[in-house]
Amino acid sequence: MTTTTNRPDRNLALELVRVTEAGALAAAKLAGKGDKIAADQAAVDAMRGVLDGVAMNGVVVIGEGEKDEAPMLFNGESVGDGTGPEMEIAVDPLEGTTLCAKGMPNALSVIALSPKGTMFDPGPCVYMEKLAAGADVADLLDLDRPIGETLKLMAQRRACAVNDLTVIVLDRPRHEDGIKEIRDAGARVRLISDGDVSAVLVAVSPDRPIDLLWGVGGTPEGVLAAAAVKCIGGGLIGRLWPRDEGEKQAAIDAGYDLDRQLSQDDLVTGDDCFFSATGVTDGDLLQGVRSQGAGSWTTESLVMRSRSGTVRRIMAQHNRAKLRELNPEMYG
């Protein structure tokens, strides 16, 4: 890749897996130790160090917050070595900080890239309503239709009973009425404490035990998940969900249409995005970091590119001694 090209190189996908592997390895050392802030910071520091060497001219559009709130990977920060294509980055160094701190399943290290000007700016809206499901029922997703009716349509499409379907939902008080509606329709509910991106990926993947994601989750996580859905297939729709009248008015003043249902193609408009996720703790989607005695760690990652539709599942073995020689602060 040279400084004159503006098109992302296909090797960029394999560079990204090194970034999420670093974040996962760093966070996993603190898994189960009860300190989510330290685990998140370790993942941030590790990812930042590897991102510096990636051949791109990138800017973080969805990161750890504003510059004054985050020491690294803040919104607006430049990353990469300054060569290659101009890219926008959405990053969650440790999705599921609480999951990691408690040693619970489904914590991930996640990053997505897309060409400049193609990632949705959440503006003042921190949350959005979401539905996500596999490609065979993606056209049935509609936030204006009662969730029970959508489940019946999905069951008809799949020639199964509604009670064969499982919906994954964040365990929050705001979802109590919807959970009751799902159960009244006959479907099962899997409640999760955290892990919005992981939940979307499990819902759209054909070989996983979840049929639908429903509920209100983070807007930044929605953009990250949209990049993954564009790569792996399936459908995701979201609608901005202001938390109060002040946030609602701020969104209206900024020109946001709060009634609009946004698809994955609205959240990430580019046709050449990249996505990488590495497991920190074991989960439905990926195996977490595992120690192979004193000599090595293993990681499992998903690395995807929308333009080619290639989805790679990468198992890697990492030599502890050599990594510590390269970076004793990160891997010591």
Q: How many angstroms separate the CA atoms of 275 and 311, rounded? A: 9
Name residue 44's amino acid: V
Tell me if 154 sits within 8 A of 133, measured CB to CB: yes
Tell me if 264 sits within 8 A of 135, measured CB to CB: no
Annotated binding site: 40, 64, 92, 95-97, 127, 172-174, 194-196, 218, 221
Annotated binding site for substrate: 95-97, 127, 172-174, 194-196, 218
Sole residue written with tokens 């297939």: 233
Task: Name the phi and psi angles at 112, rounded to 5.
Answer: -135, 145
Q: How many angstroms separate the CA atoms of 255 and 238, rounded? A: 17
Strand order of the β-sheet with 262-263 is 188-192, 166-170, 212-218, 127-133, 235-240, 262-263
Q: How many angstroms separate the CA atoms of 97 and 35, rounded? A: 9
Name residue 271's amino acid: D
Q: How many angstroms separate the CA atoms of 141 and 159, rounded? A: 17
CA dihedral 29, 30, 31, 37 (to 10 degrees): -140
SS3 12: helix
Annotated binding site for Mn(2+): 40, 64, 92, 95, 221
Task: Name the phi and psi angles at 131, rounded to 5.
Answer: -135, 140
